Structure 1
Amino acid sequence: MAGSNTVRILDGNTFVVSEDTGDIEATPSEPTGLFSLDTRYLSKWVLTVNGERLNALSYDDLQYYEARFFLVPGMATHYVDAKLSIIRERVVGGSFRETLTILNHDEKPVDLEIRMDAGSDFADLFQVKDEILNKKGELYAEAEADRLRLGYRRGNFKRETVISANQPARYDNRGFAWSIHLEPNEQWDAAIDVRTFAIGPGGRDLRIGLRAHGTERLALEHDLQEWVDKAPKVNSEHGRVAATYRRSLVDLAALRFSPLSLGGQTLPAAGLPWFMTMFGRDSILTCLQVLPFAPEMSKTTLRILGALQGTRFDDFRDEDPGRILHEMRYGETAAFEEQPHSPYYGSVDATPLFVVLLDEYERWSGDVALVKELERECRAALKWIDDYADLVGNGYIWYERRNTENGLENQCWKDSWDSVSYADGSLPPFPRASCEVQGYAYDAKTRAARLAREFWGDPAYADQLEREAAQLKARFNREWWVEEGGFYALALDPQGRKCDVLSSNIGHLLWSGIVDDERAPRIAEHLVGPRLWSGWGVRTLAEGEIRYNPIGYHNGAIWPFDNSFIAWGLRRYGFAEEAATVANGILDAATYFDGRLPEAFGGYQRELTKFPVEYPTACSPQAWSTGAPLLLIRTMLGLEPHEGHLAVDPRLPVGMGRIEVLDIPGRWGRVDAFARGRLDLHNLAG
């Protein structure tokens, strides 16, 4: 994973990860480079002056799409003033532009040899992640009079990087150079364009039609400003909320991804650096989080996922009719079916969540046309739940990969290999059924019943769905409850044995509504109790369980997205104080990450660490972490659509101060919401 000395800029389909000097010198363990559509288009980009590497004085990642590096030759020193300043400015937006500025501070003229070493391994992102680079095609480099062309071909799969500059340069197969003369106090500038091409059969660039701002900063600035202006305004007496909201909004703009061949529409990509593509689960959950702030993302996401819904039985891709995809990739390994992500369907939660998002989007937007447009896809998703997901035949959603070589073992959101276990620490056999997915299925049927009755003109189907949902809820509460612990099992094995560990998944059960009312207080008590609650957030696995590890990916770390849905679930069942506690912890943690919540951070007790400890390989920015503060704001203010209007029922943490959210869009037009937290009387008395 790229370390803390790396600089990242991105814009949807394209991103750059470099050293703090701006140089790129990729190694198997570092995902540095210029990437687009799962391919690394630059693996070497090293600037030298008179043969010397440069030293970084400072850098600014000004916006998500641009960065500026301030450099000097040699090593920095307090005793000798540098006679040259080198500034590298770069912008990424559909392609990549870098501007070099060199200033001579000497009282004498200087002659300089400026060189940029450039190269590309055209590595597939999966190869970078797995640290295995096994290219089966042909790499080539062609130096022309006015450009350098780097390329890779394997059959009909072809990728190219074309580099040119506005100052005449000498190009060779390893880069390009200038010989320049600078008088005292003179400045020299050069603009370098790097264009990337994904060439398919017939020589057509597959990237045509994607959302592209070009590389001009003004266009990018305008796009970002338009995005921010369109969103509701959040003001807060406690500055952390407004600052975190602004950071989340900007990161969400950066993560807008345009799938190939779908007309430039955008949906949230999962996260940088490994997951800059569409994920069914991640995109849906992110859309649910940001609905009050960026509702248009839901419409695009639903349409795109509906268009790519499974239509056949395909063991290689774990595809079934009606199943919503898990992940889509565009690199070499997917193109040649060396891995199944073209697309891959190995997720059991994306399909019911697709139905949940469609209903929630209509409740906010009143977009009846989309509900009618996606009726067939919605019915197919519900049929998948009943006919294809019940691998054991007992009415639950189960999973077991059919692609045993490349498929995911665990196909719930906690998809690491050891995330599902019994209390003794052992792992259950397959197939497995995860508890929160049953909640999603209950919620999907309940919501689809409303859609069928109100918009599809099918009251009989609505009645059927409501009966099935009620039966599922009764059966689930009977068969998943761990009496001695007072919580729901994490999962069941095929013999019905419970994975009897206390986990954060029970919070998702509250959000879905499947929890019996009389059991909800026990669940709320656990979520903010000492085993799950760290003071910063709810741990994925409770302290004291055998597999608990405060930096275990799904076995003790804290996920901000997870906590945002837990808080939403607590509010659903009336536990406003507990929801405010969760929101306060996560928003406090955000201040230690400059407002950008990582994918996950350590589950250490707050009193022990005094600050949240970032998970070592967490994605950042990551879509559903970016969406977490937005859902927490919704939860704290109690924003819910109600009979065509927006209901506001605020419950802020103690000491939060005043929060206002202005111009909340929906079927009601645009409205404002205000709230004020209660005073912290204990601190006032102190």
Structure 2
Amino acid sequence: MAGVQPFLHDLLVTLQAPSQVWCARDGQVHPHGAQGVYHADVRVLSTAVVRVNDLLPEEISAGRSGPAELEAVGVLRMIDGPGADPTAMLRRRRVLRPGEVSEELELSCGTDDPVSGRVTLRLASDLARMDDVKQGAATSPLPPQAVPEGVRWTDGTAVVDVSAPGASVEVDDDGATLTWDVTVTPGEVVTLRWGVRTQVPAVVSAPASAEPEWSVPVVAADDKRLAPLVRRSLEDLAGLRMSADFAPGETFVAAGAPWFFTLFGRDSLWAARMLLPLGTDLARGTLRTLAARQGTVSDVETAEQPGKMLHEVRSAELEVDDGTVLPPLYYGTVDATSLWVCLLHDAWRWGLAASDVEELLPTLERALAWMRDHGDNDGDGFLDYADASGHGLSNQGWKDSGDSIQWHDGRLAEGPIALSEVQAYAYEAAVGGAELLDAFGRSGGDEWRSWAAELKTRFRERFWLSDDAGPYVAIALDRHGNPVDSVASNMGHLLGTGLLDPDEEKVVAGRLVAPDMSSGYGLRTLSARSKGYWPLRYHGGTVWTHDTAIAMHGMARAGLGAEAAVLARGLLEAAQHMDYQLPELYGGNAVGDGPGPLPYPAACHPQAWSAASAVALLAAVLGLSPSDDGGLDVAPIAPSPVGSLRFEGVRVGSRTFTVSLDPAGRAQVEEM
């Protein structure tokens, strides 16, 4: 349906950045919705449907068979022998590599006699851009060219080459049909092969290194949900690894598939930050990549400012159906700059080499200066945002949908808007930045500590509200300086940053785990008591995995283990309903309201910061933090919300540790 964003929740995905395949539950790529083979934000195949004797195989099993691999099994009753048992079968094995998809079609039978049939593969390509697919725009297939042993599509820029040894090829204006005539003998397998190679110019591509930039831990726990969640999450993150042409050799993780399969400042920073207990190499690559495009000038069209970190990178201008038009390099984010500083500080604490830190200190100083000189549009002493171009994002925090910042009665807040969590990031960046400046003998540390202290005072004076359930932190200040009175998840990002004192942190944590905010599957973005709440509203009632993980980790850092355990158990409860792949977001319905959390139908999966949340969960349960002497400190939640736990592969610099936890929350640390 044109103009309607296609759903993803019932599709299977195979990915290895910057390529991905989205297919139906039968393994087929049908010509509708978001299904397709993609490379670098272009749909290179919009159809890849196998038939036998003009009929579709009847799917009995389909799913991932390994990282970047899928297998679908269908029975072939159209060529089967007599009897009720299905005795002819097709296995479709798909393997994805950057820029390349290969498939094997394996036919076998358990009949008394050989069976014969005609296998066809119908292919089409529309070379549609991802943003057109996301908006449900109408697309048309392009005419292909027959080439030796295959077929080709090109628009003069992208080139799509399909090879199919042994197949006859017929082309028409709408696509190509590959045909094999086969006879299958009982006890033997007939294997047909085809593949597609793609060339699409892009800003982002596969990383230089084939191996992930983090250690792969060994995790065992009494709670049997934890280990598969960690394993699946790290496999998904490995498939999201990318490199940018302006920072060759550096690796970051793309925000998510399929819609955000590129560099996003905020998302990539949070994912790298959550993965720090597994090493600092991803953090270094992310920091360097963003530093390479740090803002240098003021530009209203791109929202660039000196010292500012970018929001996202695309290969072409991005048009959104609400009139938003974003340039290929867009800086419309109020929080990525502070988060960049926070990541540099935390990576240094986790053992990032001094030479790597020192190289980035000029970038750090410019980022800090942006907070002071450009981050406050209305001069009230808080970082805020307002789109000056008229066609950029109206909301520029992590809740960036148009209706995300609203009052308790459902009215939308007017900008410039100063988000509560952005002040926490800025506070943490100023304090951490000052520590780095001192440690490396550079000036400015005292200035930034004073700046942070003043921000903390102003925040306490302006952001606190109270309702019939007690005090809480407003989601934001509006253009008039009024605190927007929604009870929302944003205040969870304040925990553990130092912006609040311990009593205030306890109050905030208590509000977040109350029934109106905690669904039992995680943290709702908006209180169920708000007029604008709806369990499937993007930022107005759904649960976002990373949002829950950030609040959970902050609670653990603040010593609020009981509250952190509530959210940890919620994520594990949700994970088991989702094949241990926690998506970008899901419904805010409560445990018991249905068989599980409602899927948010258009949610990305995998999503970088959602997958990285599994490591944040481990870090929170164990209370992991680097010690001042380069070792590892632990302050576990007691009692443990996952029972006994063993985590092998925690890294601090060049040192590796194993942490063991008993059900009571007593921990032991061994250096390997």
Is this a same-fold pair by TM over 0.5? yes
> Is 2:12 aligned against 1:34?
no
Structure 1 stretch displaced more, 88-97 or 563-572: 563-572
Change (3 A) 1:86 1:530: closer
> Is 2:384 aligned against 1:403?
no
In 2, Cα distance between equivalents of 1:384 and 1:26: 47
Correspondence for 2:403 = 418
Change (3 A) 1:674 1:326: same
> Is 2:148 aligned against 1:145?
yes
Deviation for aligned residue 1:527: 1.7
Correspondence for 2:453 = 470
In 2, Cα distance between equivalents of 1:454 and 1:131: 52
Q: Secondary structure at the match of 1:167?
A: coil
The amino acid that maps onto 1:191 is: R
> Is 2:290 aligned against 1:305?
yes
In 2, Cα distance between equivalents of 1:513 and 1:79: 71
1:130 pairs with 126, 135, 146, which one? 135
> Is 2:165 aligned against 1:166?
yes
Correspondence for 2:46 = 43
The amino acid that maps onto 2:331 is: Y
In 1, Cα distance between equivalents of 2:507 and 2:425: 20
Deviation for aligned residue 1:72: 3.1
Give a deviation string over 1:106-130, Cα, whole Å, max 9, x none: 5555553332221110000000001
> Is 2:106 aligned against 1:92?
no
Structure 1 stretch displaced more, 602-611 or 310-319: 602-611
Deviation for aligned residue 1:498: 1.2
Q: Is the 8 A contact 1:398 1:434 kept in 2?
A: yes
Correspondence for 2:117 = 112
Q: Is the 8 A contact 1:652 1:675 kept in 2?
A: no
Correspondence for 1:434 = 419
Q: Secondary structure at the match of 2:200?
A: strand
Deviation for aligned residue 1:297: 1.2
The amino acid that maps onto 1:169 is: S
Change (3 A) 1:332 1:165: farther
Q: Count the aligned residue pairs.
A: 649
Q: Secondary structure at the match of 1:288?
A: helix
Q: Is the 8 A contact 1:124 1:331 kept in 2?
A: no
Change (3 A) 1:333 1:120: farther
Correspondence for 2:194 = 192
> Is 2:574 aligned against 1:589?
yes
In 1, Cα distance between equivalents of 2:214 and 2:409: 53
Q: Is the 8 A contact 2:246 2:289 kept in 1?
A: no
The amino acid that maps onto 1:119 is: A
The amino acid that maps onto 1:180 is: D
In 2, Cα distance between equivalents of 1:212 and 1:640: 30
Correspondence for 1:182 = 183
Give a deviation string over 1:162-210, Cα, whole Å, max 9, x none: 011233533535324344352633542222120001158xxxxx88x74
Q: Is the 8 A contact 1:269 1:623 kept in 2?
A: yes
Q: Output the TM-score relative to the length of structure 2.
A: 0.91
Deviation for aligned residue 1:374: 1.1
Q: Secondary structure at the match of 2:496?
A: helix
Q: Is the 8 A contact 2:553 2:617 kept in 1?
A: yes
Percentage identity across paired residues of the two chains: 33
1:13-24 to 2 correspondences below 5 Å: 13-24=18-29
In 2, Cα distance between equivalents of 1:562 and 1:4: 20
In 2, Cα distance between equivalents of 1:409 and 1:338: 9
In 2, Cα distance between equivalents of 1:111 and 1:366: 62
1:658 pairs with 627, 631, 644, which one? 644
In 2, Cα distance between equivalents of 1:19 and 1:403: 40
Q: Is the 8 A contact 1:327 1:341 kept in 2?
A: no
Give a deviation string over 1:573-629, Cα, whole Å, max 9, x none: 221221222212222222222222122222233244463333232222111111112
Q: Is the 8 A contact 2:581 2:606 kept in 1?
A: yes
Q: Is the 8 A contact 2:266 2:339 kept in 1?
A: yes
Correspondence for 1:53 = 56
Which protein has the bigger helix share? 1
Correspondence for 2:669 = none
Q: Output the TM-score relative to the length of structure 1.
A: 0.89
> Is 2:395 aligned against 1:392?
no
Deviation for aligned residue 1:82: 4.7
Q: Secondary structure at the match of 1:512?
A: coil
2:233 pairs with 234, 239, 248, which one? 248
In 1, Cα distance between equivalents of 2:646 and 2:634: 11
Correspondence for 1:568 = 553
In 1, Cα distance between equivalents of 2:75 and 2:525: 46
2:65 pairs with 62, 67, 71, which one? 62
Deviation for aligned residue 1:302: 0.6
Correspondence for 2:435 = 450
Q: Secondary structure at the match of 2:158?
A: strand
Deviation for aligned residue 1:274: 1.2
Q: Is the 8 A contact 1:564 1:631 kept in 2?
A: yes
The amino acid that maps onto 2:285 is: T
Correspondence for 2:614 = 629
Q: Secondary structure at the match of 1:258?
A: strand
Give a deviation string over 1:475-507, Cα, whole Å, max 9, x none: 111111114541111111121111012111111
Q: Is the 8 A contact 1:39 1:331 kept in 2?
A: no
Q: Is the 8 A contact 1:509 1:515 kept in 2?
A: yes
Change (3 A) 1:581 1:108: closer
Change (3 A) 1:399 1:57: same
Q: Is the 8 A contact 2:332 2:393 kept in 1?
A: yes
1:64-83 to 2 correspondences below 5 Å: 64-73=67-76, 79-82=83-86
Q: Is the 8 A contact 1:240 1:587 kept in 2?
A: yes
Gapped regions of structure 2 (runs ≥ 5): 1-5, 666-672
Cα RMSD (Å) of the superposition? 2.6
Q: Secondary structure at the match of 1:230?
A: coil
The amino acid that maps onto 2:193 is: A
Q: Is the 8 A contact 2:59 2:75 kept in 1?
A: yes
Change (3 A) 1:478 1:212: closer
Q: Secondary structure at the match of 1:606?
A: coil
In 1, Cα distance between equivalents of 2:229 and 2:640: 19
